[in-house]
Structure 1
């Protein structure tokens, strides 16, 4: 009897309804079904009075979600997918991601396609695509005060965001560099099409084993984005006396006090996506972001009225 999970966004009626329907359908097909909502992967945001709240990475795995689970069905948008991987990546569970939101950049199918999709997946007619994740840590003196798994990006900035900050950044064993900017983005290849792209960073195909650092609105022509091997650890400290705000994947955050520092490194866990066809990254870029669409030819002459 296959063991299957369902993770859904419980603030979206379509996702809630689909979760109930598919729990009943999968149970009728003889599956052992366990259900969790995407809130379990949302760590929330700290406050200045309580800047960190340490939740170990492995403790976010929902009950009964373990290595024996064949796969988990995710019903929601990209935010739910990011949250779900934070929950199941330590258990190595593949995710079948179904879009009930808007953009759905990380999703594999739409809700109306689910009957045919589920039939194929239960028959094992799919392949896995593994994507790298990073671990983000807030360190205080000799301890880790906060940590989180990240599939897209970590953003570090002051409040308000438009206030410039001076960062000291060390990548691996290289000499530290000083960056004056509104903030810093540390992004995976998956996150290169998210905030990093909006901040002027390059698009990186998911299979490349790199990390990128993108300054947000740098105050120098010399401060530009950099791409480096994801085997390199990044350490970031601030020269400012005010606390910083760190946001990870848009749904988890912590205050970083002046005496703290932030460390990012490649995670031993990966995000396993169920794919029904060979991944076509450029096709997704074209369909979701309009990349590479042909330009409309301009007329050679214009008649005046």
Structure 2
């Protein structure tokens, strides 16, 4: 059986450093008899576009059986938001720093990508978050996140005040630098640096991580993944809400932010040998020493 006949290639817009790897991937895939398409933004990164097929970023997921993202985790986050509705599986090739989501190194390209083309891969389904901002009963905007939705102070150095509700139940009123609402995927990103727990990718849960709270008793909370999170802004200092580090929406006192599970999921492809805990050991510097008898 032949897997993934039509394959899309995507890189982060403006990141010309990934051009060589994109061309390497293109040559390898075409050598394997696959049809390769670039989205228009990615094609603009290449030195020559005479011999490539292009389509819009919005159409790439519909036109392809697989999309390969070349870049760091940020590039894959960008792709996830663009491809959320198409249900197209995504594979990441790491040209960034940490690479929790982009777990194929350029040096492993032919070996790992060849295995995937032969059908030797694992698939994760990662849920995403939708965030909606409401003011005086009107929806100002919505946003989509694979990692996290963050209420934060923007460029100011003042604390903000807000109230948190989970499934309509009041949790607390807090003064802090903000609040991170993360998926299991996002639990190893910004939420981790804020002292949040690591959530296994298969968990149906969200983490709520306060940022530098003005109290010693505020701790991260893990809630059911189907929960509706409501945040009411009380501070006169205008905070901002952002999804996956995007610019987001400025807020004012009285605004509500609603965070819920998005109906679409990201289908994330892993080559053979992928291990979540091994990734944690490698990326987070956990000890890899196995004492004698520990594996007995």
TM interval, shorter chain, is 0.7 to 0.9
**Shift in Å, 1:100:** 1.0
| Equivalent residue number for residue 268 of structure 1 | 263
Does 2:100 match 1:105? yes
**Shift in Å, 1:25:** 4.0
| Equivalent residue number for residue 22 of structure 1 | 25
1:179–1:217 Cα change, 3 Å: same
Question: Alignment RMSD, CA only?
Answer: 2.4
Secondary structure class of the residue paired with 2:84: helix
1:281–1:118 Cα change, 3 Å: closer
Secondary structure class of the residue paired with 1:231: coil
Structure 1 stretch 153-162 or stretch 170-179: which is displaced more? 153-162
> C-alpha separation between the residues in 2 aligned to 1:201 and 1:279?
24
**Shift in Å, 1:89:** 1.8
Does 2:150 match 1:155? yes
| Equivalent residue number for residue 234 of structure 1 | 229
> C-alpha separation between the residues in 1 aligned to 2:41 and 2:128?
18
Structure 1 stretch 150-159 or stretch 276-285: which is displaced more? 276-285
**Shift in Å, 1:206:** 0.9
Does 2:2 match 1:7? no
Paired residues, what number? 275
Does 2:263 match 1:253? no
**Shift in Å, 1:263:** 0.9
Match for residue 32 of structure 1 among 22, 31, 35? 35
Deviations 1:123-176 (A, max 9, x none): 222121111211112123344322222111121122445311111111113235
> C-alpha separation between the residues in 1 aligned to 2:60 and 2:139?
26
Query: TM-score scaled by structure 2?
Result: 0.85
Deviations 1:257-294 (A, max 9, x none): 32421111011111211112364211111111112455
Match for residue 170 of structure 2 among 162, 175, 182? 175
> C-alpha separation between the residues in 1 aligned to 2:156 and 2:242?
12
Whether the aligned pair in 1 keeps the contact of 2:41 and 2:57 (CA below 8 Å) is no
Unaligned runs of at least 5 residues, structure 2: 43-55, 291-296
> C-alpha separation between the residues in 1 aligned to 2:11 and 2:269?
17
Deviations 1:44-102 (A, max 9, x none): xxxxxxxxxxxxxxxxx824323452111110011101111111121111111000122
| Equivalent residue number for residue 116 of structure 1 | 111
Unaligned runs of at least 5 residues, structure 1: 40-60, 296-305
Match for residue 188 of structure 2 among 168, 175, 193? 193
Secondary structure class of the residue paired with 1:109: coil
> C-alpha separation between the residues in 2 aligned to 1:128 and 1:108?
13
> C-alpha separation between the residues in 2 aligned to 1:268 and 1:279?
26
Deviations 1:166-207 (A, max 9, x none): 111111132352111111111111111111111111111111
Whether the aligned pair in 1 keeps the contact of 2:115 and 2:272 (CA below 8 Å) is no
Query: TM-score scaled by structure 1?
Result: 0.82
